[in-house]
Amino acid sequence: VDDGALSVIGPDGDTPSDHSLQSPGPGIVLPANARMIFDHAYAFDAGYDGGVVEYSTNNGSTWLDAGGLMDAGLMYDSVLIAGSGNPLENRVAFTQFSSFGYQKTRLNLASLAGQTVRFRFRVGTDSIIGGNGWFIDNVNVYTCPVAAGAPVINPGPVPQSAISGGSATFTVTATGDPTLRYQWLRNGVPIAGATASSLTLTNVHQSDYAYYSVIVSNNAGSATSDGAVLFVGFTGAPLIT
């Protein structure tokens, strides 16, 4: 039962802080087609405090954001505001006033197969208002069998950059038999009409800053790519000559 009695709590105080819960070193060797799922609930000072999931393939020397690996359940919901003193400012995170109870988030770890990986849940806060924090429970790593002919993605979409008002294209390469079908996602939510092997976004703006992934499926199964982030920059100010 997800009642918080045995969960791990990431505090959300009213001073700048950086707390994390890390899996022990040197990590676990991930098998093929691995997944990780966890239950969590949170209540943050929205936009100013928040939590992220990170992973390391070098025993904690460096950490990478795992948002691009999330493929089901609750996804990151907003960008942490810059200038507040939060060590995680400018990053996409879990940062709303409420998750409305315990929710599940799943990560697709297939791209990390064979590597020794550690994970951490990290909370960053600013110096103003606090909240109830982040409650994490039932973290589980498991594998899914792959049926003959099921889609295999290689490679998946890669991060893109565009200026405001410009365009960006994500592509995926996959194999499988019978015929493949495609469905692109934005932060885990299907994009209407985006059912080709590439996704082109036009007239992009800051609101398009998100993770984009794709589900490739056929009658034998399905595969979900890692998410690739779209960075959107501002055009330069006009020059008077």
Predicted TM-score (pTM) of the model is 0.76
Element (H, E) at 171: strand 168-171
113-158, pLDDT tens digit by residue? 999 999 999 999 998 888 999 999 999 999 988 889 999 888 889 9
CA distances in angstroms from 29 to 21, 34, 48, 153, 225, listed in the order given: 19, 10, 35, 21, 20
36-72, pLDDT tens digit by residue? 999 999 999 999 999 999 999 999 999 999 999 998 8
Element (H, E) at 175: strand 174-175
**Sign (positive or negative) of CA dihedral 34, 168, 75, 179:** negative
* CB 121, CB 105: distance < 8 Å: no
- Dmax (CA) for the chain in angstroms is 67
pLDDT of 192 over the 50 cut? yes
